[in-house]
Homo-oligomer: A and B are copies of this chain.
Amino acid sequence: MEPTVLLVRALDLVGTFVFAISGAALGVQRRMDLFGVLVLAFVTAVFGGITRDILIGAVPPASVGSWHSLALAVVAGLLVFRFSGLIDRLQHPVLFFDAAGLGVFAVAGTQKALDAGINWPMAAVLGMISGIGGGMVRDVLTAQVPTVLRADIYAVAALAGALVVVVGSAVGLPSTAVALTGIALCMFLRLMALYHGWRLPVARSGD
């Protein structure tokens, strides 16, 4: 158990950091000032988890009760602000870690919701929200329709990872293996969507 906990904890920090980078990068692109960039970094990194914690009644939320997420987000935001050109060149590794962060957040979020006694369909939804919530608010704060609602298999990948946890927990499989499987499935779907253009259908609309 111990090594897995360490692994998940490490991935959680990586996820926080990478999500903060994606928020900060959008802030720089929109020519926000340093403070706006840091806010976007922090909000993108923690909003999903905070939403989940509030909905299951776990207050103060983890990233309010400790200062670690804040520190990580500030460091990420400062780096992006200072080396904004570099981020463009690092697009590919960023997307890879973003997929990892998505999987970790979705899996850990689902487990936390199940532990709080939430029914499994909503636990999966809460896990998904943990993964995609930050990006949604990042987009709302920059006045655009959240990307996650329009394109790619982003949220669906998070949901798939969440469902692995739900099923594994129901069947009683060892939680370590379940968590790693969920993260791997989420990353696989997300990276396939990125590199092979997998997409969900769009309704034919008379508009």
By a beta-carbon cutoff of 8 Å, the part of chain A in contact with chain B is 27-37, 39-40, 42, 50, 54-57, 59-61, 63-67, 70-71, 80-82, 84-85, 88, 116, 118-122, 125-126, 136, 140-146, 148-151, 153, 155-156, 199-207
Contacts and interface: CB of A to CB of B under 8 A. Distances in A.
A55 B66 contact: no
A2 B139 CA distance: 45
B64 A56 contact: yes
A36 B148 contact: yes
Copies held by the complex? 3
A65 B113 CA distance: 10
Contacts of A84: 203-206
B60 A29 contact: no
Given A149-B27, A203-B84, A155 B119 contact: no
Given A55-B50, A56-B59, A206-B85, A34 B145 contact: no
